[in-house]
Each structure stands twice: as structure tokens, then as C-alpha cells.
């Protein structure tokens, strides 16, 4: 299926979901679910989370609009002290972050305290939903060489399910759907699709991942991608909490793409418990060599 056809399906599916979601929003009244969108950058700040003065960033505006359409409220902040407060008031926590969030940031935003990091992980384990976009895996890196898997990854990395290694030049590349998650819950056909994006590579995959979209590396350019296919969008459970991650979201035009918005909306709805889906681990079946960070000689 051509990309423009796929996006047509995505637009129609998203419109249908918006209509039903607006009805739910009216019925919910003041009891709307609430999402915390945390965009602090202790490392490199991406343009989609960069604010100009008091205005919300590009991604903050779009996620807020998705919430308005889908009947949930979004609270946007870069203030790490939020994790020292009452996290039970949020149904889900969304991250687009970089670096060690307990350290200083160039914008002067207050850091996450070590206790705040623990409280975040405890909140997810107790049942808060968590969704990570793009650079959320470039956060709280594990100890040890960047180009190697670790037996004992950072607790945050263990929660989100994978860790950023590096990326190459932005390019158009394909993702392959290996799960019917989006077909059943967004209405988009489970076929290949492509984006122009800054594509991340990963290590330290959790063994219990349910891969949804897989990065097809065969025709990608650059040393970073000379490795077997690996998950790029996935779901897992962390204790009682539902965790969803997608590597998409570097570029402004990706955030305005109807299919990406459908991914974000479906991910948020699932982590907040608006629908159920069988996320039986499938990593060994669909990407059996995902943890191989380089292609062995002669494998191409």
C-alpha cells in the first residue's frame, strides 16, 4: 500500500475516533482523565519540545489538541519537582526527555530529585500509565559502554523497555507492523509504512516486549543501521502499569502526520486503560536478532 493511501486510512480512522471521543468527553464532564507531559532536556533539546517564551512547544500544543479531541486533559511541564508531588492525580505520564534528569539543564528548569525518579517508577509499577516519545529512551542511560548491552540496565530503562544507542542521517525508511494493535484499535491496515525521520537504534531490550512496529534496516543508509531489524514501537507491562513507546517524533512534520497522531492517541488510550489488548511478548519471534548491535560478516 502506498504511503498516501495509508495516510488516507489513518486520517479517516482518526476522524472517526475524534467523533466518538468528543461524545465521551461530553459525557465525562469534569471527570476527564489527566496526562502529565514532561519535556525536560538535560541533554540535547529537540525542536519539538523547545518553547519560545511562555508559549507551549510544537509537540505540547499537538498533544494538548489530541487530548481535547479525545476527552483527556494534558498538563505540560519541564519542572522536575512535579515528581515530588501527588502523581495519583494523573492517569498517565508522557515523556519526551533527554539526559540524566536529576542534573542541571541549560534552560534552568528544576531537576528531578533522586527520590522523584523513584516515585515515578513506583507510580508506574502501581498502575499509572506511561508513554514515551522518541528521545524518552535517550534518558537516564545505563552504566557501561554505549555500544554494548548491559545485564543490569538503569531502572528507568528497564521500565521503558529499551535504550537509545545512536542515530544516523535523517532519511525515509520503512516500519513493518508485526502486531494488529493499530489495526484493531485505530483502524489502519497492518501493512508497511514509511516516514522521513531521525531513526533511533536501541539496545537493552526488555525480554517481555510486545513489538508493534519494527524498523526495517535492509535499505537504510549509514553505519548506525547496519544491524538486524529491531522494534521501534512497543508495549509492555511494568508491574501494574502499562508502558508504550514509539521512536517516532523527532520532526515537526511527523507530529502533524495523521498516522503519528493516531499512534499517540492509541498509545495514550491503551496506557490509560480505555481499551485492552493482548501484549503477549513477541520479541523472540518477530525480531530474534534485535539485540545484535552489528551485522555479523556475511549476514547481508
**pLDDT tens readout for residues 163-173:** 999 999 999 99
Q: What is the pLDDT of residue 12?
A: 46
Q: Cα separation of 6 and 13, whole Å?
A: 10
Selection from 42, 53, 61 nearest residue 252 by Cα: 61
What contacts 240, CB < 8 A, 6 or more positions away? 125, 126, 127
State residue 129's pLDDT score: 98
For residues 114 and 107, is the Cβ–Cβ distance under 8 A?
Answer: no
Residue spans of the domains in the chain: they are 3-286
Least trusted range by pLDDT, from 32-36, 133-137, 188-192: 188-192
Q: What is the pLDDT of residue 295?
A: 87
**Whole-number percent of the chain with pLDDT over 90:** 82
Per mean pLDDT, which range of 23-27, 67-71, 255-259 is the poorest?
Answer: 23-27
Q: b/e map of 238-267 (b: 16 or more CB within 10 Å)?
A: beebbbbbbbbbbbeebbebbbbbbbbbbb
Conformation bin of residue 99: beta by default, left when phi > 0, alpha when psi is -120 to 50: left
- The answer to whether 111 and 102 are in contact (CB under 8 A) is yes
> Would you say 188 and 9 are in contact if contact means Cβ atoms under 8 Å apart?
yes
Does residue 72 surpass a pLDDT of 60? yes
pLDDT given at position 185: 66
Hey, which CATH number is domain 3-286, 3.10.20.30, 3.40.50.880, 3.40.50.2300, 3.30.413.10? 3.40.50.880
The span from the CA of 80 to the CA of 110, in Å, is 5
pLDDT (tens digit per residue) in 230-287: 999 999 999 999 999 999 999 999 999 998 999 999 999 999 999 999 999 999 999 9
DSSP 8-state code for residue 41: B
Q: What pLDDT, on a 0 to 100 scale, did the predictor assign at position 193?
A: 79
What's the pTM?
0.91
> Average pLDDT, stretch 102-121?
97
Amino acid at each position: 500500500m502506498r504511503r498516501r493511501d495509508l495516510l488516507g486510512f489513518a486520517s479517516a480512522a482518526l476522524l472517526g475516533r475524534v467523533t466518538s471521543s468528543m461524545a465521551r468527553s461530553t459525557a465525562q464532564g469534569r471527570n476527564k482523565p489527566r496526562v502529565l507531559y514532561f519535556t525536560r532536556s538535560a541533554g540535547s533539546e529537540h525542536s519539538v519540545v523547545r518553547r519560545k517564551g511562555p508559549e507551549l512547544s510544537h509537540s505540547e500544543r499537538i498533544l494538548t489538541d489530541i487530548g481535547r479531541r479525545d476527552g483527556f486533559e494534558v498538563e505540560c511541564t519541564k519542572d522536575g519537582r512535579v515528581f515530588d508531588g501527588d502523581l495519583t492525580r494523573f492517569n498517565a505520564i508522557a515523556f519526551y526527555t533527554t539526559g540524566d534528569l536529576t542534573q542541571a539543564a541549560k534552560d534552568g528548569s528544576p531537576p528531578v530529585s533522586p527520590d522523584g525518579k523513584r516515585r515515578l517508577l513506583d507510580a508506574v509499577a502501581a498502575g499509572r500509565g506511561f508513554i514515551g516519545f522518541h528521545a524518552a529512551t535517550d534518558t537516564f542511560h545505563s552504566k557501561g559502554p554505549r555500544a554494548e548491552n548491559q545485564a543490569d540496565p538503569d531502572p528507568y530503562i528497564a521500565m521503558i523497555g529499551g535504550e537509545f544507542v545512536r542515530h544516523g542521517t535523517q532519511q525515509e525508511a520503512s516500519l513493518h507492523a508485526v502486531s494488529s494493535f493499530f489495526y484493531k484499535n485505530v483502524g489502519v491496515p497492518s501493512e508497511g509504512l514509511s516516514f522521513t525521520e531521525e531513526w533511533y537504534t536501541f539496545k537493552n531490550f526488555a525480554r517481555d516486549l510486545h513489538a508493534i512496529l519494527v524498523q526495517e534496516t535492509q535499505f537504510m543508509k549509514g553505519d548506525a543501521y547496519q544491524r538486524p531489524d529491531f522494534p521501534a514501537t512497543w508495549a509492555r507491562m511494568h508491574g501494574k502499569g502499562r508502558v508504550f513507546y514509539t521512536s517516532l517524533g523527532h520532526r515537526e512534520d511527523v507530529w502533524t502526520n495523521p498516522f503519528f497522531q493516531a499512534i499517540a492517541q492509541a498509545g495514550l488510550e491503551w496506557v490509560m486503560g480505555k481499551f485492552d489488548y493482548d501484549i503477549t511478548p513477541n520479541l523472540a519471534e518477530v525480531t530474534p536478532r534485535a539485540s545484535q548491535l552489528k551485522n555479523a560478516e556475511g549476514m547481508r
